[in-house]
Amino acid sequence: MKINGRPYRTIWRDGDAIQVIDQTRLPFAFAEVTLRTAADAGEAIKTMIVRGAPLIGATAAYGVALAMKADPSDSYLADASEMLRATRPTAVNLAWALTEMRQTLQLVAPENRAAAAFQKAAEICDADVASCAAIGDYGHGIIRRLWEGKGKPARLNILTHCNAGWLACVDWGTALAPIYKAHDAGIPVHVWVDETRPRNQGASLTAYELGAHGVPHTVIADNTGGHLMQRGQVDMAIVGSDRTTATGDVCNKVGTYLKALAAHAHDVPFYVALPSSTIDWSLADGRLIPIEERSADELTHMVGRGADGKLHKVQVVPDGSPGLNVAFDVTPARYVTGLITERGVCEANRTALLALYPEQARGAAE
């Protein structure tokens, strides 16, 4: 995507270092951060300088490459991989990318590992861009059919939660790719952007992305979606995923489940866009997905720009009130209208997923 006319990915190699965009400073500052070591990559994932399932995976892959530059031994490959794997528990793209790196590098002699690791990490990034572009095409088809089926209204309202745009991936995004492609093709999409408390990925990142691309949007408080659906003001919902089971249960940013329930109650189509690197074929039940719990500080305090133009952190609960900051929830497959993948759109169930990914039939949990 372009920022001030310059095409950007969210992660790229610059000589022996890796550059990323500091997402903790958006939307108020567009700043790059340099990652020089595997520890830098781990810290960027933990502190959410980078976030979003596909981008976490890409950063971990480059983290392994940075590790191999420092020490290409078997033991350091194992240690660095474990350190990176432990940074965040829910998005399965992290473990997926580390397994991909490990499988490639264990076949390579240590003296060649750094070069092979940088090359493999670049391939993972390129594959993510291709997947998201394909998701965008399939999702655009769904949006177009819906818009035409409704008699081409002057505004098609799409609700999204969290940030599943290009900032969450390497480029394009998952849930937002279909929206960008539909907008670029002339469909009058308007996006309801859930603010996504407590970290406000919707208000800060999705609104920033959509605005930069010129897509009409409105930020809403997380609790507004049900009201809008009740009034017929939501035509469809599209969200991303951090981990989807072999049976189609979808784990995504906390609050997604409530939107899916409301959408179900009001017959609003509820789609989930995801690349296959987000599917955990080993799980048949979403309740088995590890759910990250983050510091309550993210809930009890908010950060925003003051009238002086500076960032301020303010407390929003009484002194001493504890908070619970659960970062993700699971939407059971029965509330999902369809999964939009890089291989096409399918129902959220094992049979439909395996029809798209037959090579997984042997290992997919039942």
Residue 150 CA, distance from chain mean position: 29
Q: Which of 42, 52, 72, 198 binds ligand MRU (CB under 6 A)?
A: 52
Query: Is residue 113 near ligand MRU by the rule CB under 6 A?
Result: no
Give the integer Cα–Cα distance in Å for 345 and 135.
9
Query: Is residue 183 near ligand MRU by the rule CB under 6 A?
Result: no
Query: Is residue 174 near ligand MRU by the rule CB under 6 A?
Result: yes
The edge-to-edge listing of strands for the beta sheet with 328-331 is 279-280, 243-245, 250-253, 328-331
Minimum CB distance to ligand MRU smaller for 72 or for 178: 178
Q: Which of 181, 253, 259, 350 binds ligand MRU (CB under 6 A)?
A: 253
Active-site entry in 40, 171, 194, 242: 242
Q: How far is the CB of 220 from ligand MRU (least distance, A)?
A: 17
Query: Is residue 204 near ligand MRU by the rule CB under 6 A?
Result: no
Give the integer Cα–Cα distance in Å for 257 and 175.
16
136-174 as b/e: b if 16+ CB within 10 A: bebbbbbbbebbeeeeeeeebbbbbbbbbbbbbbbbbbb
Q: Which of residues 306-335 bind ligand MRU (CB under 6 A)?
A: 327
Query: Is residue 206 near ligand MRU by the rule CB under 6 A?
Result: no
Which one of the spans 74-82, 100-108, 163-171, 346-354 is the region binding ligand MRU (CB under 6 A)? 163-171
Query: Is residue 252 near ligand MRU by the rule CB under 6 A?
Result: yes
Give the integer Cα–Cα distance in Å for 65 and 70.
9
Q: Are 195 and 203 in contact (CB under 8 A)?
A: yes
249 part of the active site: no
Q: Are 165 and 158 in contact (CB under 8 A)?
A: no
Q: How far is the CB of 162 from ligand MRU (least distance, A)?
A: 4
> Which of helix, strand or coil describes residue 208?
helix
Give me the residues that bind ligand MRU (CB under 6 A), please. 51-54, 91, 162, 164, 168-169, 173-174, 201, 240-242, 252-253, 327
Active-site amino acid positions: 242
